[in-house]
Structure 1
Amino acid sequence: MTKVLQSENSPSGYPLSDYEISWIASAICLAAMFGVSLFTYIVDKYGRRVAVLLIAAFQALSWILKLSSAHIVVLITARLLAGLGAGGCYNVVPMYVREISQDDIRGVLGSFIILFQNIGTMAMFAMGAYLSYYTILWIIVWVPVLTMILMVKAPESPAFLVKRGKNDEAAKTIAFLRRLDVNDKRIQKEIDFMKNEELTYNSLPKISFKSIYQNKAWLRGCMLNIILMTIRSNSGNLAVLNYAPTIMKSAGVTWNPELQTLSFPAVMILASFISMSCVEKFGRKPLIIISFGVAVVSHIILATTMLVQHQGSSTPGWLPVIAIVTFFAVYAGGISPMPYIIMTEMFNFQIRAKVMGGLVTHAWFMSFVELLSFTAIADFLGTYSVVYIYAGLNLVGVIVSVIFLPETKGKTSEQIENDLVKKK
């Protein structure tokens, strides 16, 4: 898409500048910051199903706007609408999937969220290599439209129905989802569990930011997660994905860059599967340390290749490709999922909801900074300089994880809090 918009035959009527492209790329992250708070309210007030419908509506409207015009203002507006939906997507969809799933398949269904995200990324790269700008838009616009049509018939989350006192309706929904008779004892047992969980949550004392600041373990946990989320969002993934053809060209790759970038999401899909099998076997800490470490090496190789190319020398065309593919493998397998897993395990039920909203908003803000600053820094210092900066940030991730990060696998929140207090 970027290459088309910056070409002489740009649908915008003129080749868009790097500055305009940076705003188009980063606008989605800017809006997502507000989308987190918006959908936190909607999902609690109006339900999970309504929230998913609105997310799909924002996405559909975004693609319709792109079909109507390729003017820079329209494109940025479309990305802002998509960002509002994206801000809610990573909160609402996992919540909805978790609450309609039975325990023995909940983890598998939850993992499909990132898997389908990677499949969607690969589909976009594939279409970008072979199809025209407007053909892609006409195909993609039907995805949120079909989602809206299907969600009209989808059931509301049983947990939300219980929260609203609609126990009979919740029982019917569980019976439908589990293919059980509505009078089955297992359904009543599940309803009772949801009611007790709601009572437990309502009985907890209200947590303020002041109380978090005064609790040494909570404060350290927050600071550690802020650092991890900052590095995750500035590890280089969004910049490399959005500017992949430009980076490949800077590294001296002469083959079709769009076709070459198809390997990135394919590797991410494979890495997601591998990560699912390794995270419980080896733990969170070793996996994130190795991922950050490999990312450092990959970025140094990529940046050095760019620097050599910039100075007029040549390097093997496969070298930057291997570096980028390796980075995306460790990003999808470790850098991307591990901070979220650690975040949910590090904080107890009492403060989890309050802290996670702020951390997710911070992650979107840092992604916005990464995308907006990439072009400016690349134009001023060179693309290779930006990639060296990403290498440095990932190195910070290695150091912080080795020294300060406790292992969270198989531990209670109390044990993790004790480990945080012991860390110097």
Structure 2
Amino acid sequence: MKSDIKMNKGHTYVQWMVAFVAEITLLTYGLQAGWMSPMKTVLQSDSSPAGRPLTDMEMTWVASVLPLAGVVGVPLYVYIADNYGRKVGVLVMAIMQMSCWILKLSTTSVTSLIIARILGGIPAGGCFQLIPVYIKEISQDSIRGMLVSMFLLMQNIGIFMIYAMGAYLDYCTVLWIVLAISVVSVVALIKAPESPSFLVKMGKYEEAASTAAFLRGLDMSDKEIQNELNCMKEDDRQFKALPDVTVLTIFKNRSSRTGVLLVLLIISMQAMNGNFAIVTYASSIMAASGVTLSPELQTLSIPIVMIVGSFVSMSCVDKFGRKTILALAFALTTASLVGLGSVLTVQHHGGSLPSWLPVASIITSVWSYAAGVSPMPYVIMSEMFNFQIRAKVLGCIVSYAWFISFVQLFAFTPTAVTLGLHNTMYCFAAVNLIGVFLTLVVVPETRGKSVEEIERMLAKK
């Protein structure tokens, strides 16, 4: 009873503040991911800040190099976080993001734009690996789920901000604003605490207790803090006692091998389902589909519905199950892209349809992506693998996902030119339809099941 009273005297606002500061890196990633949509038209216009209009192939490289660089970012930030600290990793991430905007302001050549996107892509790879780990380790159980889930919301807010600024502000003004956000992020992270779990790993037990007490608004001698410190010590001891895990040992085990292959299939469908290209080239796709109002203003609907989708995902994931949500999301995306392809086909043959039809198709597709296609594979894979192999498997799969996203973006413009934008949408719809069948037939439902139960299910496949 005494410890409960003391816990009530504590607070959570410091944890919320630290989580928000760390997740500004996801906001900045959202700014990076959405930057191409409003700026593609600017960079390919006669008044391009590069001094000449960029070609389609140059724009393809500028757009697609970000996810390619993300492949490098995953193992880099895993190494930094494990050897120098979670906070250090997040801080390096924020500094690289800031450098990206500085380079874009300093020079506007094609080469510098590509280098700048690489500087933004490397930390993008670390965002989805490191930020959830850092937030998990600085937060208490009662608010951990909300704080971790907030990172996708921050990403979608970033996309909304860049779409809105791109619609109303000029090229350089947008860059100055996003640079200011990155500078604030770096300064705030300097003052952020290190993860108590990492401090325990380094043998700094007193500092770990002090940090945990600061985060929870309690005294170092509080029983809750001491119990938490003892749990972290035990977790660290158990982790260090585990045998080394290699790719060979993972694939020798039937259940883990089956799990990896299933997740790779679903991640392939997710990364190739077309929505990353739609978000990146939203203004151009809106304009090509016959939107009569300002395409820039129309595209503001995309991040808004993505934000709504994030809230729906957070509220429904534990009620309806991962498999059900993922299959429905793939199905909705299939229908939406077939609708968009049909609109574009009619226009390709000289017909016309109401401009709200392509807008409705696009926003339904990206809503489904934010509500199910994007988050559910990561939820499933986090529950599918045991603690001993989870880190290695997730690192490899996230790197693979970034590479496939690069392939999608790099191939989008040449494919649209060769096959036509309408046929490209049909190809994306086919990918999502395959995703529906794979989810229903081979993906296990992981909601409410232990790792051991899931492993037994995988061993039978």
TM-score normalized with structure 2 length: 0.91
Asked if structure 2 preserves the Cα contact closer than 8 Å seen for 1:2 and 1:242, the reply is no
Alpha-carbon offset, residue 307 of structure 1: 1.1
Report the secondary structure of 2:52's partner residue: coil
Matched, 1:362 2:418: no
What letter is aligned with 2:321? G
Report the secondary structure of 1:141's partner residue: helix
2:449 to 386, 403, 411: 411
Alpha-carbon offset, residue 422 of structure 1: 2.3
1:61 maps to which residue?
A: 99
Distance between the aligned counterparts of 1:411 and 1:23, measured in 2? Answer: 43
* Deviation readout 1:128-151 (Å, 9 max, x if unpaired): 100000000000001121111011
Distance between the aligned counterparts of 1:202 and 1:371, measured in 2? Answer: 41
Distance between the aligned counterparts of 1:168 and 1:212, measured in 2? Answer: 37
2:210 maps to which residue?
A: 172
1:397 maps to which residue?
A: 435
1:131 to 169, 175, 178: 169
Matched, 1:82 2:146: no
Report the secondary structure of 1:254's partner residue: coil
Identity of aligned residues (%): 50
Alpha-carbon offset, residue 421 of structure 1: 2.2
Number of matched residues? Answer: 423
Alignment of 1:254-333 (within 5 A): 254-333=292-371
Post-superposition, which runs of at least 4 consecutive aligned residues in structure 1 deviate over 2 A? none
What letter is aligned with 2:240? N
Q: Which runs of 5+ in 2 are unaligned?
A: 1-38
What letter is aligned with 1:333? A
Matched, 1:421 2:455: no
Distance between the aligned counterparts of 1:3 and 1:344, measured in 2? Answer: 39
What letter is aligned with 2:135? V
Alpha-carbon offset, residue 209 of structure 1: 1.3
1:25 to 63, 83, 97: 63
Alpha-carbon offset, residue 55 of structure 1: 0.4
Asked if structure 2 preserves the Cα contact closer than 8 Å seen for 1:250 and 1:309, the reply is no
2:191 to 124, 137, 153: 153
Report the secondary structure of 2:261's partner residue: helix
Alpha-carbon offset, residue 59 of structure 1: 0.4
Alpha-carbon offset, residue 204 of structure 1: 1.6
Asked if structure 2 preserves the Cα contact closer than 8 Å seen for 1:233 and 1:363, the reply is yes
Matched, 1:96 2:96: no
TM-score normalized with structure 1 length: 0.99
* Deviation readout 1:394-424 (Å, 9 max, x if unpaired): 111111111101100010111111111223x
Asked if structure 2 preserves the Cα contact closer than 8 Å seen for 1:218 and 1:417, the reply is yes
1:199 to 237, 246, 249: 237
1:230 to 268, 271, 275: 268
* Deviation readout 1:134-174 (Å, 9 max, x if unpaired): 00000000112111101111110000000000000001001
Asked if structure 2 preserves the Cα contact closer than 8 Å seen for 1:234 and 1:393, the reply is yes
What letter is aligned with 2:338? I
* Deviation readout 1:105-144 (Å, 9 max, x if unpaired): 0000111100011011000000010000000000000112
Q: Which runs of 5+ in 1 are unaligned?
A: none
Matched, 1:38 2:79: no
Moved more, 195-204 or 50-59: 195-204
What letter is aligned with 2:281? Y
Report the secondary structure of 2:91's partner residue: helix
What letter is aligned with 1:4? V
Alpha-carbon offset, residue 12 of structure 1: 0.6
1:211 to 240, 249, 269: 249
RMSD after superposition: 0.8
Distance between the aligned counterparts of 2:58 and 2:341, measured in 1? Answer: 24
1:381 to 419, 422, 437: 419
2:384 maps to which residue?
A: 346
Distance between the aligned counterparts of 2:277 and 2:186, measured in 1? Answer: 30
What letter is aligned with 1:14? R
Report the secondary structure of 2:413's partner residue: helix
Alpha-carbon offset, residue 93 of structure 1: 1.2
What letter is aligned with 1:99? E
Alpha-carbon offset, residue 22 of structure 1: 0.9
Distance between the aligned counterparts of 1:45 and 1:122, measured in 2? Answer: 35
* Deviation readout 1:290-330 (Å, 9 max, x if unpaired): 00001000000001111111111101110010001101111
Alpha-carbon offset, residue 217 of structure 1: 1.0
